Chain A
């Protein structure tokens, strides 16, 4: 192997390894699963666990949100799949939403999860083709969460109890 080839190989290795380190420090993965998942997602090789995802969907549509989140977390341990994260955010919204009162802690969790989902989504936009959902895009979900976290005079409107669940 000639000197030029050795130096070129070293340069490629250094750039690749350095990029990986910069990515890790910039994204701050909290677990080894998040780190490996993030790296595989960056090269387009990340896949979620489909059986767990289907379990999550089933629980979600049955309004069993804790079970749904547990299954979705198992399906997407690296939190790199935008659709799965969208469903997790949606489950927080549905659990925290109320006709009279919304739980701000759950809505805050919904907001944080949705913001992360938007970060990892290609193009920063999520569109889920699920006829059982009232809100099918990340923009609609974000707006609904914001409305739930906002307190104004319309909260006193008694007809608010008749509004449709998101």
Chain B
């Protein structure tokens, strides 16, 4: 039986020197990214969102009278406040707004103050967005308010996720904007115009009857458009459920 000859063990080749630098670099890069994200979130919560919602609150009540070109600043009606509260409820239920990310007992008082300001300015901005997309008086105001109430009620009951909630909000506010500033604006335009003629032709046989509406100056529509757009941008920037509360929140 042949046996395998055994000689002295050859020394192992030297191991390559350990390089501890790359992991350290990775850790510091990660912590820098985390810090940047955290700072961005703080800036968004303390500066960006309040300024967006305050701008919406300012623009939502602004009207320019068609005849005199005077500025008029309309505070939100009681119905607009009710609708805003309903919208806040819908945003919370859909996870578009997570109140715990803004107000928590373990946050410092200054951070909670920032969070409270976001909630308050969001509420006022929501009321002013309903204010700007609703006719100012009469039967049309009642009809649009009822339309908002039923749609928001339906949205709350449906419990949509964040994406669908925002899509629903775009449809609700966009629809109301088109009705007030495009359709009614054209129908009640004293100077007439192509849109009015087209609409009157389409609604042949139908008269406006006793429905009264005072069409504002065209610039009001532009202000309202950017106000609604800014509000929707603000809503998408709110701390959502997916983001969740940050344990290292400062």
Which of A's residues lie within 8 Å of B, judged by CB? Answer: 1, 3-4, 6-11, 13-14, 17-18, 21, 24-25, 28-32, 35
Contact = CB atoms under 8 A, between A and B. Distances in A.
B54 A17 contact: yes
Interface of B: 38-39, 42-43, 45-47, 50-51, 54, 57-58, 61, 68, 70-73, 75, 110-111, 113-114, 117, 121, 250
A14 B39 contact: no
A30 B73 CA distance: 9
A13 B47 CA distance: 8
B75 A14 contact: no
Nearest to A35: B71
B42 A6 contact: yes
Given A7-B111, A28-B73, 14 more contacts: A6-B39, A7-B42, A7-B114, A8-B110, A10-B47, A10-B50, A13-B50, A13-B51, A14-B121, A18-B54, A21-B57, A24-B58, A25-B73, A30-B68
Contacts of A4: 110
B58 A21 contact: yes
Contacts of A1: 39
Main secondary structure of the interface of A (DSSP, over half): helix
A23 B51 CA distance: 16
Contacts of A24: 58, 73
B114 A11 contact: yes
Contacts of B71: 29-32, 35
B43 A14 contact: no
Nearest to A11: B113
Contacts of B38: 3
A129 to B, nearest CB: 34
From B38, B50, B121, residue with most partner A Cβ within 10 Å? B50
B47 A21 contact: no
Contact of B75 (A6, A18, A25, A35): A25
B46 A6 contact: yes
A85 B24 CA distance: 72
B156 to A, nearest CB: 29
A124 B117 CA distance: 35
A116 B206 CA distance: 47
Contact of A14 (B42, B110, B117): B117
A7 B110 contact: yes
Contacts of B45: 10
B54 A6 contact: no
Given A24-B73, A28-B72, A29-B71, A10 B54 contact: no
Contacts of B113: 7, 11
Top 10 A-B residue pairs of the complex, sorted by shortest distance between their CB atoms: A10-B46, A30-B70, A10-B47, A14-B50, A7-B46, A7-B110, A25-B73, A3-B250, A21-B58, A17-B54
B197 to A, nearest CB: 33
28 contacts: A4-B110, A6-B42, A6-B46, A7-B42, A7-B110, A9-B46, A10-B45, A10-B46, A10-B50, A10-B117, A11-B110, A11-B113, A11-B114, A11-B117, A13-B50, A13-B51, A14-B50, A17-B50, A17-B54, A18-B54, A21-B54, A21-B57, A24-B73, A29-B71, A30-B71, A30-B72, A32-B71, A35-B71
Given A11-B114, A14-B50, A3 B58 contact: no
A32 B114 CA distance: 31
A1 B58 CA distance: 29
A140 B73 CA distance: 34
The winner among A14, A18, A24, A32 for most chain B CB atoms within 10 A is A14
B119 to A, nearest CB: 12
A3 B38 CA distance: 9
Nearest to A10: B46
Contacts of A18: 54, 121
A21 B124 CA distance: 12
A25 B250 CA distance: 35
